[in-house]
């Protein structure tokens, strides 16, 4: 073959040296945390795939933009630049800056949600669900069934099941549904995208019932990339054209800029409706900061404006999503079961199939996470029974359908050589998989136990 090999559209200008502990040292470190991956010191981790949130590498242009930050309390040109970028890219005339995504949810939901309300969506993200349930409202999941089928290789497993959505509206009544949240890409479902076709059908149902449609937008550019690559009629459109079309269906959006904004901190709300903008401004001033900075400094807003443009370039997205696909393919080659196709930001290893001898009540995905740290210094995160927590009423453990180890890849941070180390680490465990035993919980907090739980080996 005479085609030129693929390589990333950048070179490295600054490096952050990493320390690599020995296997014996790591075994000791993870025992010191009592098998809790969150509590490891970050310097003791070689390749950190805990999250892709706020962990990306900024470009030279973003670092230069920081110097242009105007730190005025009111009327900062850095805010105007961010706002103009958002209006140009996504089409919304009004922008409310916040310090991160969950803050955007807090402000918007404070303006829109009342106790007893119902918010349909496609597997709401944890903080979204948290902010809904905290207001004594219900997050109604209408994701397609394929989303939780590990053997389904469909191209758009983040889609909404339109019949579930219609049934939900009929059951609860439009008067109780102040808005719907569509998450692009669908994080809880493995970073799986939503098709343009599905977006337009969802918007049609919402219009019929006059339900405002909000997009939870953390990975909107990754979603647009999948539309370009997988959906008929979009091959020749640019990412920005696709993004514009996606957002032509939305009434408002919340954004965690720590993902596709390629910044370490930041977020915003954007909307068409002026009255909603005014209401959000009031809550923003109470919770976040004045309407022209809302929890970000001027320099953060400059870096974000630049990051949003870089994050919607095809070449950048191709490098990013190809790297996720590369890691997925390397793991598959070993015969290790993962969710396929790989999504935009992470590879999810099926720990139930990896360790069939470990019952779900003994946390196979946590066992795999601990083992991967011990073998290769790689940190992933459990998305399984520990995360699913106990039923708030019965206090029984909720056993989720899937028991996963998530390996989330930071943007522009690691090379494919690092991905090879991750796959190699999994291979070491795979070859002696029968020898692993489960964990039992020693300490757990009453809610959100996964952050602080400690374990002992059985």
Residues that bind ligand PLP (CB under 6 A): 53, 100-102, 125, 127-128, 183, 187, 216, 218, 256, 258-259, 267
Q: Which of 258/406 has CB closer to ligand PLP?
A: 258
Q: Which of 297/429 has CB closer to ligand PLP?
A: 297
Of 111, 239, 255, whose CA–CA distance to 183 is shortest? 255
Q: Which of 30/408 has CB closer to ligand PLP?
A: 408
Q: Minimum distance from CB of 113 to ligand PLP (Å)?
A: 16
Q: Which of 81/259 has CB closer to ligand PLP?
A: 259
Instruction: Give, in order, the Cα–Cα distances in Å from 210 to each of 123, 178, 207, 226, 270.
Output: 22, 9, 5, 29, 19
User: Using CA atoms, how far apart are residues 141 and 119, in angstroms rounded to an integer?
Assistant: 9
Q: Which of 103/405 has CB closer to ligand PLP?
A: 103
Q: Minimum distance from CB of 195 to ligand PLP (Å)?
A: 17
Q: Minimum distance from CB of 305 to ligand PLP (Å)?
A: 17
Q: Which of 199/439 has CB closer to ligand PLP?
A: 199
Q: Minimum distance from CB of 51 to ligand PLP (Å)?
A: 8
Q: Which of 49/367 has CB closer to ligand PLP?
A: 49
Q: Minimum distance from CB of 144 to ligand PLP (Å)?
A: 17
User: Among all residues, whose Cβ is closest to ligand PLP?
Assistant: 101
Q: Minimum distance from CB of 56 to ligand PLP (Å)?
A: 13
Q: Let me know: does 277 contact 271? Beta carbons within 8 Å.
A: yes
Hunting for tokens 């937008």 — which residue is that?
217
Of 191, 307, 185, 190, whose CA–CA distance to 246 is shortest? 185
Instruction: Give, in order, the Cα–Cα distances in Å from 326 to each of 8, 122, 193, 345, 423.
Output: 13, 27, 18, 12, 10
Q: Minimum distance from CB of 251 to ligand PLP (Å)?
A: 17
Q: So which residues are the catalytic ones?
A: 73, 125-126, 216, 218, 259, 450
């Amino acid at each position: 073959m005479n085609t030129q090999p693929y390589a990333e559209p950048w070179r490295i200008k600054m490096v952050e040296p990493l320390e690599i502990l020995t296997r014996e040292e790591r075994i000791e470190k993870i025992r010191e945390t009592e098998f809790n991956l969150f509590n490891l010191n970050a310097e003791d981790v070689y390749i950190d795939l805990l999250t892709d949130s706020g962990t990306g590498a900024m470009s030279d242009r973003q670092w230069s933009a920081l110097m242009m930050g105007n730190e005025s309390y009111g009327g900062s040109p850095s805010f105007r630049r961010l706002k103009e970028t958002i209006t140009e890219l996504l089409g919304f005339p009004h922008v409310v800056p916040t310090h991160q995504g969950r803050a955007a949810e807090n402000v918007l939901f404070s303006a829109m949600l009342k106790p007893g309300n119902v918010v349909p969506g496609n597997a709401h993200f944890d903080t979204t669900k948290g902010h809904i349930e905290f207001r004594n409202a219900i997050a109604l999941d209408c994701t397609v069934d394929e989303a939780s089928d590990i053997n389904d290789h469909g191209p758009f497993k983040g889609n909404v099941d339109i019949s579930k959505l219609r049934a939900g509206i009929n059951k609860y009544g439009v008067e109780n549904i102040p808005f719907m949240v569509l998450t692009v890409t669908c994080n809880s479902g493995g970073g799986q995208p939503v098709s343009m076709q599905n977006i337009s059908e969802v918007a049609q149902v919402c219009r019929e019932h006059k339900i405002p449609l909000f997009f939870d937008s953390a990975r909107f550019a990754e979603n647009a990339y999948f539309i370009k690559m997988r959906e008929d009629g979009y091959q020749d459109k640019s990412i920005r054209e696709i993004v514009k079309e996606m957002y032509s269906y939305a009434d408002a959006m919340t954004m965690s800029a720590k993902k596709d904004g390629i910044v370490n901190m930041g977020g915003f709300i954007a909307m068409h409706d002026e009255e909603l903008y005014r209401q959000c401004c009031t809550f923003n001033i109470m919770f976040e900061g004045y309407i022209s900075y809302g929890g970000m400094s001027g320099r953060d807003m400059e870096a974000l404006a630049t990051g949003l443009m870089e994050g919607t370039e095809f070449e950048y997205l191709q490098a990013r999503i190809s790297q996720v696909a590369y890691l997925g393919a390397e793991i598959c080659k070993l015969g290790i079961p993962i969710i396929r196709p790989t999504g935009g930001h992470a590879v999810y290893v099926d720990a139930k199939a990896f360790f069939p001898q470990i019952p779900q009540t003994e946390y196979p995905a946590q066992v795999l996470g601990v083992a991967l740290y011990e073998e290769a210094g790689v940190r992933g995160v459990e998305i399984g029974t520990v995360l699913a927590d106990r039923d708030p009423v019965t206090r029984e453990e909720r056993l989720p359908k899937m028991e996963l180890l998530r390996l989330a890849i930071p943007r522009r941070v690691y090379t494919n050589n690092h991905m090879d180390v991750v796959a190699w680490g999994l291979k070491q465990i795979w070859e002696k998989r029968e020898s692993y035993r489960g964990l039992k919980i020693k300490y757990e907090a009453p809610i959100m136990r996964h952050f602080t739980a400690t374990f002992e080996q059985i």
